[in-house]
Amino acid sequence: MSNPVISYIAGGSNLGNRIENLRNGIVKTCELEGTTFKNVSSVYETKPFGPVEQPDFLNLVFEVETFLPPENLLEYLKEIELNCGRVSTVKWGARVLDLDILFFGDLIFESEKLTIPHKGILERDFFQIHLLELNNDKK
């Protein structure tokens, strides 16, 4: 990409040291070439989404500026999750770290692996709360 894009990434953790897992996710994401940290929301504790019984999550949203295309960013986010100890077991199950692209500039995109804006934005109030917090002063 020739111009950087602002992307909002949701982070969630409900296993292990949840705060440390979220911190690692932000740090590792911002270490990606061509990616710069811009802002982070407060951390909120939320009930799990979906039918699987599991511990509560800590969630946040962080904002980055990146030159990476969205598919590459997603690929790197999935690598970061794995390197931080994520093991996929069941859909919507407990996880050490979950990183999801919520928005990528004004892009509207859908593929087999990626949907932008994230299809869960309207179903998960905590995404909206985080995004409002980050954008409250950008009027």
95 included as an active-site residue: yes
Pick the catalytic residue: 18, 23, 56, 98? 98
Pick the catalytic residue: 18, 23, 56, 100? 100
User: Closest Cα to residue 8, out of 79, 125, 104?
Assistant: 104
Pick the catalytic residue: 23, 56, 86, 124? 86
Contact at 8 Å (CB) between 59 and 19? Answer: no
100 included as an active-site residue: yes
Secondary structure in 3-state letters for 84-129: CCCCCCCCCCCCCCEEEEEEECCCCEECCCCEECCCCCCCCHHHHH
Which residues form the catalytic set?
Answer: 86, 95, 98, 100
